[in-house]
Amino acid sequence: MEIKVARPDHPEVREVIASHHCVQRFRKRIRIKAPGIDIVEEKLRLALQEADFSRWPPAWIASDRQTEMWALVDDDIAFPLTPTSEPGRWLAMTCLVRGGRR
């Protein structure tokens, strides 16, 4: 399964793809209990579509994490992004949530 979001409105981030690990963490940390992947895919796609992009992590993130770009949602959810071999295409490696919900 591949969840990807096009963002033609951003000069550096044209597309974000969520890794399998990111999808799993998003489900767990956002506490999606519904069975199946459809609701997870819908909510994750919406979160990435609405995200703001920054080269700086939010203040609640440990500063030792090395990443070039962040997708930030309402300062409560952060996706560290890794560039892919295709310019403008980024991979969301995981999902982090303020307050450490696991």
Residue 39 has pLDDT above 60, yes or no: yes
Q: Lowest mean pLDDT: which of 1-5, 22-26, 36-40?
A: 1-5
Question: Which tens digits make up the pLDDT trace of 43-82?
Answer: 999 999 999 999 999 989 876 667 899 999 998 999 999 9
**pLDDT score of 4:** 84
Rounded distance between C-alpha atoms, residue 29 and residue 32, angstroms: 8
Q: Is the CB of residue 80 less than 8 Å from the CB of residue 73? A: no
Residue with tokens 């949602």: 73
Q: Is 17 exposed, middle or buried, given 0-12, 13-18 or 19+ CB atoms closer than 10 A?
A: middle
5 confidence band (pLDDT: 50, 70, 90)? confident
The whole-model pTM stands at: 0.89
Rounded distance between C-alpha atoms, residue 43 and residue 3, angstroms: 11
**pLDDT score of 24:** 94
